[in-house]
């Protein structure tokens, strides 16, 4: 591959190009996870609530909006985040799952490798 920038040529092999692309994608992935996690931490808090289904009570993970302490479902949060960040469905769902389970790593990696789009 040949790249030309301001009159200078840079020649790299396909392997080097693939490695650079991989690094760029990984950085973009971590950056988006960080952005979404920071947004979630600032505005929401995962909580457990008891929900009655069929005459019995079950503990169910829910999300509290910090501003007004309203409780919403993870599905409602997903719908909002999907439109706010415009990321892929599986990526958004995985960020929410890992955030609720406190499983996003310090370097902003998810427990499951999913595409951003």
Higher pLDDT, 117 or 108: 108
What is the arithmetic mean of pLDDT over 52-56? Answer: 84
Residues constituting the chain: 117
Query: Is the per-residue pLDDT at 114 higher than 70?
Result: yes
First to last CA, the chain: 26
Average pLDDT over residues 22-46: 88
Scan for tokens 């996690």, then name that residue: 37
Q: Which residues contact 82 (CB under 8 A, 6 or more apart)?
A: 89, 92
Report the predicted TM-score, pTM, of the whole model to 2 decimal places.
Answer: 0.76
pLDDT per residue over 62-87, tens digit each?
999 999 999 999 999 999 999 999 99
Please, what is the average pLDDT of the chain? 88
């Amino acid at each position: 591959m040949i790249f030309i920038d301001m009159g200078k040529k840079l020649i790299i092999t396909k392997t080097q190009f693939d490695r650079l692309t991989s690094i760029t994608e990984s950085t973009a992935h971590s950056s988006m996870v960080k952005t979404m996690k920071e947004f979630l931490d600032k505005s929401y808090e995962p909580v457990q609530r008891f929900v009655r289904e069929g005459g019995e009570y079950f503990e169910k993970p829910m999300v509290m909006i910090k501003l007004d302490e309203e409780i919403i479902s993870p599905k409602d949060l997903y719908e909002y985040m999907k439109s706010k960040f415009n990321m892929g469905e599986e990526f958004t769902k995985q960020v929410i799952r890992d955030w609720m389970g406190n499983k996003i790593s310090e370097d902003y990696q998810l427990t499951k490798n999913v595409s951003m789009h």
